[in-house]
Amino acid sequence: MIRSEYLRFLQTLTGEGVSADVRKLANLVLSHLDALIPLSTAQGQRIKRIVSLAQANWAATSTDIQPVPQQTTTQTCPFKQLKSLSVGPFRGFSKQEYFDLASQLVLIYGPNGTGKSSFCEALEFGLLGNVAEAESRRFRNQEDYLKNAHTSSFAQPALVGLDSQGSEIKISTNEALYRFCFVDKNRIDYFSRIAAQAPAKQTELISTLFGLDAFTEFVRNFTDTMDDRYIDLEGVKTKELAKKREELAGYQQQLKNTILEEIKNIKKEEKELAEEYREDSAFSDMVAELKGTEEKTGLIKQLEEKLQKQLPQKSNVTADNLEKLKQFIESALNEFEAKQEQLSKASLQFSFKQLYEAVTRVQEDNPEQCPACQTPLAQVKVNPFVHARAELKRLEHLGRLQDATNKLQSSIDTSLNKLSGLINTCCSRNQENNPLSAVQITDGKAATIDWWKSLFQNSGDETTLFKHFERQIKQLEAADKEIDKATTERTSEQEKLNRLRKFNEKIIKLKTRTETANGTKKKAKEAIAKFDAENAQLKEDAEK
């Protein structure tokens, strides 16, 4: 039974895609089947025996597979191998991706969420026209399940295969033909009730079901790998040398294409950056101009040093405000002197006003007698209290005049103190030999009218202190304008500095890329130059 099943298995190796070595090894097993059947995988019994048989009989073993009598095979599958899969948008793929499947073994590997399951579902959909997972989740329209969540779109995966002549063919869906191409735990569960059994029991029961228990046991005792524990089939040294040659080829390719292309791109970007900085400017000139040389400081440093200098504080004084203050004080003093003259002329009336005010205050203590003669009020000819109130009402204008005079005095004092503050500002800004220092008021003292008048007296140089005052105020106002101008220029210079710094950042990036490219170029050249000398012994070992 084992031999007949093995012979049937051999018929699967007759295709063009099976290598001669595979057929030779299969015939070697067939020739020594009776010797191999009793051996198991324990301590590598069977694989060691196969190695021994191969070493002794390899050259004499045929690569031809003999047909099984009374056995016919029918090729129903239109392709012998998958070549490629184009998928997307589809499930986890937002855009179209291309997978090269033209190999005996294709390994799909990646972290969670990178599209492994989507790849398998795309393959399943391309062959069967449906996805079992979508059906298990009860999607009425499978496209809703297969859409990419980000683009909300779906495109039919495209499968391309190779036929027996090696020509490309487009693979169409055929559930009946390809349904057993996919082995999945769920499908095994659907297929058989024995899924509840342990894995070893499942295999045993399935083998028994199809009458393959003995053949299954024979197959189970083959080792799945023939590695260097038993024989050097690949040539370890040759493989090591090939790996080093791949690295060498990588360096050569890197030197030939990648590095040179990067250097070329850097040069192009340097030229574009210099043109952006100033028309017809060279990159090296731009770098020297911005960063400076041993002989000359760069523009960036010049601007930084200039902007770090503090601007002087503004005095915030103007000749116009001084003139307005002067005119106000003069007008207020004239009005004050006029009211003072009126008050002086009414001095007698003020005496009577004070007398009447005193009489009205006495009424509170002695309201029934005359305050002057102590005569009862019923016997006097004129009631003094009534007379006093009447006279006070007649003299009310004197009170208003005095209030106005006091208010003017207060306003004049405030303005004089303000003027004194301006003189202090002039003295603090111009301390050396300043004639205004003679009238400067300090220690919290108040300015007086006499102090004001002293500003207009001849100071000995055929001018007045106030003229000096006006001249210095104009100088401070002019200085404030220069400060305003410097502030505006500083804003422009800061914008210029920011622009130059951005160019400098791009220069640094380009220089870093240049250093990296040159370093990689040097490393690649050194690796190529040292390859033969460093691997001479390995070459000799590989040849042996």
Q: What pLDDT, in 10s, does the model give residues 191-242?
A: 455 666 677 667 766 666 555 666 777 888 888 777 777 777 667 778 877 8
Same domain, 23 and 112: no
pLDDT tens-digit profile of 469-480?
899 899 999 999
Summarize the confidence of residues 494-511 as an average pLDDT. Answer: 92
Residue 153 lies in a domain: yes
Query: Which residues on neighbouring strands pair with residue 168, listed in sequence order?
Result: 162
Residue 72 banded pLDDT, cuts 50, 70, 90:
very low
Boundary-marking domain end, from 462, 477, 492? 477
Q: pLDDT by residue (tens digit) across 26-55?
A: 999 999 988 888 888 888 888 888 888 888
Number of domains in the chain: 3
Q: Is the pLDDT of residue 506 over 90?
A: yes
- Please tell me which residue, 111 or 530, carries the higher pLDDT value: 111
Residue 141's pLDDT is what?
77
214, part of any domain? no
364/464 same-domain check: yes
Mean pLDDT (the chain, rounded): 81
φ, ψ at 525 (rounded to 5°): -65, -40
Structure tokens at 203: 């295999």
Same domain, 16 and 143: no
The answer to whether residue 180 sits within a structural domain is: yes
Task: Mark whether 109 and 191 lie in a shared domain.
Answer: yes
- pTM of this prediction? 0.41
What value does the mean pLDDT take over residues 98-104?
91
User: Are 465 and 325 within one domain?
Assistant: yes
Confidence bin at 15 (pLDDT 50/70/90): confident
Counting Cβ atoms within 10 Å, is residue 72 exposed (0-12), middle (13-18) or buried (19+)? Answer: exposed
pLDDT for 73 equals 40
Tokens of 347: 């001095």
The identity of residue 276, as a single letter, is E
Classify burial at 5, counting beta carbons within 10 Å of its beta carbon; exposed 0-12, middle 13-18, buried 19 or more: middle
Distance CA 123, CA 97 (A): 13
* Residue 87 covered by a domain: yes
Considering the domain architecture, whether residues 452 and 406 belong to the same structural domain is answered as yes
Whether 525 maps to a domain, the answer reads no
Residues 43 and 120 in one domain: no
Q: Residues 121, 189: one domain?
A: yes
End position of a domain, from candidates 163, 197, 231: 197
Q: Which of 444, 442, 443 is nearest to 423 (CA)?
A: 442
Q: Which domain range does residue 343 map to? A: 319-477
Q: Is residue 167 part of a domain?
A: yes
Q: Please list the helix, strand and coil fractions of the chain in percent, rounded to the nearest 5, in that order.
A: 65, 5, 30
More confident residue, 78 or 206: 78
Do residues 323 and 468 both lie within one domain? Answer: yes
CA separation for the pair 466, 438 (Å, rounded): 12
Quick one: 394 and 333 in the same domain? yes
Reported confidence tier of residue 250, pLDDT bands at 50, 70, 90: confident
Does some domain include residue 303? no
* Banded pLDDT at 384 (limits 50, 70, 90): low
pLDDT at position 318: 92
Model pLDDT, residue 273:
92
Ordered DSSP codes for 71-107: -------S-SEEEEEEE-SBTTBSS-EEEE--SS---
Characterise 136 by phi-psi region: left (phi > 0), alpha (psi -120 to 50), beta (else). Answer: alpha
Shared domain check, 23 and 119: no
pLDDT at 133 over 50: yes
Cα–Cα distances (Å) from 89 to 82, 126, 405, in that order, read 21, 14, 94
Residue 425 sits in the same domain as residue 332:
yes
The closest of 76, 77, 127, 134 to 101, measured between CA atoms, is 127
In-domain check, residue 272: no
Return all residues near 73 (Cβ < 8 A) that are at least 6 apart.
11
